[in-house]
Amino acid sequence: MKEKVVLAYSGGLDTTAIIPWLKENFDYEVICCCIDCGQGNELDGLEERAKLSGATKLYIENVIDDFCDNYIMPCVQAGAVYENKYLLGTSMARPAIAKRLVEVARKEGATAICHGATGKGNDQIRFELGIKALAPDLKIIAPWRITDVWTMQSREDEIEYCKAHGIDLPFSANNSYSRDRNLWHISHEGLELEDPACEPNYDHLLVLGVSPEKAPDEAEYVTMTFEAGVPKSVNGKEMSVAEIITELNALGGKHGIGIVDIVENRVVGMKSRGVYETPGGTILMEAHKQLEELVLDRATMETKKDMGNKFAQIVYEGKWFTPLREAVQAFVTSTQKYVTGEVKFKLYKGNIIKAGTTSPYSLYSESLASFTTGELYDHHDASGFITLFGLPLKVRAMKLAENGMKYEG
């Protein structure tokens, strides 16, 4: 009886060519597994394609709600943004995919999992760390790193290989952007983006929306509600997190929201340039942050900012299934207890403009913040506070003076 391998299958040229390659070089029975994180119509026709290519079976596993509730929302609540720009769309999907691949492998009694990530990118790390953490006994096959067996170097090579194995599918050898899409975002790499000196061709590139220049000339108001850090409604309509992101994607795409052009530092040591479209995610994170401004105290916000950066790094590096991620997430979760309220903003040509925030747990006191403060605040108290707060600076200046010196910073 042949050993089984579960292939992380997208239906694209790479993973299609991998099916006969696995059978030919390892004599595996190939079980394809496509994890649906919200790719939309990219999943059309996959079953026929997988079986035509030699797979025994195809699983299409819908993990959209799991992805949204258990991976996206912890990142939103943490304010996790990698290198100040990247909202982790690909990064946080990979552990969700790895987990389901392992579950399918266990169900099928497979001995190995195969993925089509290259040896230059981050995804190989994310997939494999997830698999190692959840199923250390499973073999991992990464064809692009087995260069003595995987000899194909181009799309043309892969197309010819498929044809030689009786797989004649309508794949094009034309160069195009390398994209990754899920409910949260779509990423674009390749073509003119490989040169940081080149401006992105947004008319050719964008999928989820339009550039700010082509957005409507009229602003659009949006109201959202949150309960304990979780979005509950948009414009008065209660929805699941997945439905809210879908709705915000439409609104954000319409108004040119969430387009990011970044040169980022990959885990493997190189810099890469890409454009990310995250319309709904950008709105959701901004709305959540707008509400946190009202309800979190200063010290918690300061620490949470550090934890958000750490969380982003953990997710980007594929370390989701680690004690550190669990610990940082536990801190973040504890800060969300009172992140409840309503956020209003308007969308206009790439901008998210505040239009009012309310919360029953708001720490903002109009009587304290106004110039005519009430009984809670005595202006005279500030004198003693400043004296003590500035005492180290005054003592240092005095000591410098005693030695004939002065601070020259």
Nearest to residue 159, comparing CAs of 147, 142, 173? Answer: 173
- Whether residue 284 contacts residue 252, with contact meaning beta carbons closer than 8 Å, is answered with no
Q: Which long-range contacts (CB under 8 A, 24 or more apart) does 201-204 make?
A: 202/259
CB atoms within 10 A of CB 65: 13
- Whether residue 185 contacts residue 87, with contact meaning beta carbons closer than 8 Å, is answered with yes
**Strand ranges (E), 64-193:** 112-114, 139-141, 178-181, 186-189
Q: Is 178 a catalytic residue?
A: yes
Give me the catalytic one of 157, 178, 325, 362. 178
Q: Is 14 a catalytic residue?
A: yes
Q: For residues 167 and 165, give the distance between their C-alpha atoms in angstroms, rounded to a whole number.
A: 6
173's CB contacts (< 8 A; 6+ apart) are 155, 156, 159
Give me the catalytic one of 10, 14, 100, 273. 14
Task: State the DSSP H helix or E strand holding residue 54, giving kind and residue range, or none if neither.
Answer: none
Nearest to residue 7, comparing CAs of 145, 129, 114? Answer: 114
Q: Across the chain, how many H-helices and E-strands are there?
A: 15, 14
**Residue 77 buriedness (CB in 10 A; 0-12 / 13-18 / 19+):** buried
Q: For residues 183 and 285, give the distance between their C-alpha atoms in angstroms, rounded to a whole number.
A: 15
The residue type at 26: F
Q: For residues 353 and 304, give the distance between their C-alpha atoms in angstroms, rounded to a whole number.
A: 23
Give me the catalytic one of 49, 94, 100, 273. 94
The residue type at 15: T
Only one residue has tokens 């439409």, namely 250
Give me the catalytic one of 53, 123, 180, 273. 123
Active site residues: 14, 94, 123, 178
